[in-house]
Structure 1
């Protein structure tokens, strides 16, 4: 009865003390899909990711790369989904790795996850601030510092993160539908007005090998960031054994097919022989230039508005992910126990939400005071740091699937337990190596820049520090060590 009262918000004032349980049975498959796809942000990919993919790599086969990576991630999802049927924990990667490869490795993974997801979320404030400030200046004639716009978004994100998960899901649903329809209208317009006619050339292997294919895979992989976050909401969904796996498969298919179509449509809008040059010349303005040419200035204006709301949706999605990682680690006493408190009425990880907000506030204000570049530095450096961390976690999680089912199949088939994680782990490891080797292409830095190794080094450092901390817990606090990776059942 107490859990039901918490979930429905019927607690009296005297009963409203912190709990360690997230709201139960609040969201279903569509809600998790909204969280996952919002993190990758269709309009942000169309306006930023695709022109950068084409312009910096010289690869015209970007659409085929999307389909290849969707297939790789679908294979990864087989093992990931199999584990989700046996582990329900807001810590997701942390819990999976702890139970598959050991508690110390799990703590190391949790530190990488915290760095990666915080970096992704905080970096997006730079893009949001720049886009919102530009919109206000263009249409209202008022020059507003980018960081002011970011702080307004930060306040709204903090409010939503404090509230129930289903409210967040409804907000994301509205924003995602708006930006998804905007991109779809753009795609149809480009296909309908292709100056050189329609061709399937971008889906051929020869098109993939036209340029720096390694960098091309890295850019496209960045578009899938967030697909793995479904398991983070496993404690709050209606049927953990089915909801997470279904949502993950749907999200991978949706992202892969939709973005491949958008990449192809954009190349049809310019002509395959011109997409590289036009992307390099116009960058993030390309989608608005093409949209205005085929749909008029009203579309360009609307797309700019939805670009701002799209980044806001991504901010909200990553904020919720970070808050739940803090919650999972606090509940198991890996981090301060206060982080494991959930709101008695909303069932939200409100302390973790507040901590994430504080981290973002410090970084945004710091960049604002010091006059930092919101897109070239805050957005570019931080989100690429985050993407690299997530790819590393995907590789380690693939190995953890093998470890988790090594002695007990738990009723899962051989493909999900052995074949899928082995194939996915090898493919993702290759992508990780490509990402590190081609990191200068992602950052836009010279090949000899120290940043090309310093930023990837931060991911490795986080993992090493986490493993060291895990060893310390093992030696000094056996009770906490026994709880690691086991969620609510560890209490």
Structure 2
């Protein structure tokens, strides 16, 4: 009970603990660039069968940079760990805001839980190579315990852990890219960077998958209450959290096409799958660099687990502090100021879901990792779309608060593009998850988010009728 103090004595996150670099690391960790490079990029090459993957990733980064312009402009006027749902409340009203809050809780939770499946499979493979027999569930439990403990500690300590892991991650990516570029299969080429690839028939599907790979960068705003000088820190950190992964992933996708050859990259990706990069660099580097790559692949997933855990705990904290959901979630650790109740809640939920998956004996890569992370990314895409609309409405009601570029032009362009991407994702989500057309799961996740949003609206209506003071507090935990 020492961890859970009375709500009126511990309802505050630690102030002024995170500078720009630390917040950037949290945002980049959620996007997990090495995981995207080794897993998503090779998968897109193989599944979509297009060589335009590099230019599509650069386009995705550009689109999200447009979204970020209005997103961080709003962060200068509203500082809250509630992020998406707080912004949607201020821009569109309390009913859409509460729907967004419920969607955020589900989306980030399933995203994090799904990553445990990938961590378990990678760790099982690494241990198997050194003669240690185990299974994915045991490995996932080790990661679960580490994340659960770190979630109770100081947020700046978590930032330092992420800094070490991500620095190693970027270092190995640079080495691999240089090796692939130094050993081109068919000569040095930039044809896969041709913007014409954005107008191919496969571009929409690739763009959906590419944008999903960036999910996590927006977690920077969730840390606004713990950042030093949040009005400037969050803005700078969020832009960097989009640009750095975008540059690294785009360049790595291009380096793969050079290393394998433009005419062979699709076939090689189909044959090698997530081993594509390792296969391309293996003849040219000592074995230790391959081993390090697998280890950093694992730590990349762990960094994402930690970043998403932090985001979920802070969403729960914000909702509890406002009294919208149980006050228990507003409780923080008396020494570390971590949102301990939210952290413990997410740890408990993750443990239950992982145990159910293990008992059911399903494929952890397909049904746990692929299904849940894609579903989580879809939920975050819904939140980004709603937030973009909220930014337009918020500044439309406050003309002159920001420049036209920040308040109108960039948000409107981003809103149009995100609308198209969201529609394409909604229609094609079953195909992305490789679910059969006649399966009951074909529209399961789309329907799930509709129901979750409806529950949020229903709860808000209940609060408006029966607890008007709490209803008035929705999305207004802390405003500057």
TM above 0.5: yes
Aligned pair partner of 1:307 in 294, 297, 300: 297
With over 3 angstroms needed to count, the CA separation of the structure-2 counterparts of 1:404 and 1:16, relative to structure 1, is closer
Distance (whole Å) between structure 2 residues aligned to residue 61 and residue 447 of structure 1: 27
Match of 1:476 among 462, 466, 469: 466
Task: Say yes or no: does 1:120 pair with 2:134.
Answer: no
TM-score, normalisation: structure 2:
0.96
Are 1:107 and 2:98 matched, yes or no? Answer: yes
Q: Is structure 2 residue 239 aligned with structure 1 residue 249?
A: yes
Q: Does the C-alpha gap of structure 1 residues 277 and 209 become closer, same or farther in structure 2, counting only changes over 3 Å? A: farther
1:240 to 221, 230, 240: 230
Partners of 2:449 and 2:182 lie apart in 1 by 44
Cross-structure match for 1:367: 357
2:62 matches 1:71: yes
Taking the aligned partners of 1:204 and 1:437, their CA distance within structure 2 comes to: 28
Deviation digits for residues 175-212 of structure 1 (CA, Å, limit 9, x no counterpart): 00111111111111000001111111111134345552
CA displacement at 1:349 relative to structure 2: 0.4
Match among 260, 273, 297 for residue 250 of structure 2: 260
Gaps of 5+ in 1: 1-10
Could you give the per-residue CA deviations for residues 453-478 of structure 1, whole angstroms, max 9, x where no partner exists? 11222122211211111111111110
Tell me which of 424, 437, 447 is aligned to 1:457: 447
Corresponding position: 1:439 with 2:429:
yes
Give the whole-Å Cα distance in 2 for the aligned partners of 1:407 and 1:172: 39
Q: Residue 247 and residue 310 in structure 1: after superposition, are their counterparts in 2 closer, same or farther (change >3 A)?
A: same
Match of 1:418 among 398, 408, 413: 408
**Partner residue in 2 for 1:6:** none
- CA-CA distance at 1:344 after TM superposition: 1.7
Structure 1 residue 240 displacement after superposition: 1.1
Q: Distance in 2 between matches of 1:53 and 1:18?
A: 50
- Backbone CA RMSD of aligned residues: 1.9
Is 1:217 aligned with 2:207?
A: yes
What are the Cα deviations for residues 265-314 of structure 1, in whole angstroms up to 9, with x where unaligned? Answer: 01111001111111122111112212212223222211111111111001
Cα deviation, residue 405, structure 1? 1.8
1:89 aligns with 2:80: yes
Contact 1:62-1:208 within 8 A present in 2 as well? no
Confirm or deny: 8 A CA contact 1:214 1:435 kept in the other structure. no
Q: Are positions 1:163 and 2:139 aligned together?
A: no
Which of 336, 339, 350 is the matching residue for 1:346? 336
Contact 1:322 1:352 in 2 (8 A): yes
TM-score, normalised by the number of residues in structure 1: 0.94
1:226-273 Cα deviation digits (max 9, x unpaired): 111111000000011111111111111112111110100011110011
Given the alignment, which residue of 264, 280, 288 partners 1:298? Answer: 288
Q: Is the 8 A contact 1:60 1:210 kept in 2?
A: no
| Structure 1 residue 409: Cα displacement | 3.1
Change (3 A) 1:388 1:100: same
Match of 2:262 in 1: 272
Mapped partners of 2:213, 2:311: distance in 1: 17
Matched, 1:397 2:371: no
The C-alpha deviation readout for 1:380-416, integer Å capped at 9, x for no partner, is 1100110001111111101101221222236311121
Q: Are 2:376 and 1:386 aligned?
A: yes
Partner of 2:164: 174
Name the SS for the 1:234 alignment partner.
Answer: helix
Q: Is the 8 A contact 2:179 2:284 kept in 1?
A: yes
Q: Determine the structure 2 residue equivalent to 1:8.
A: none
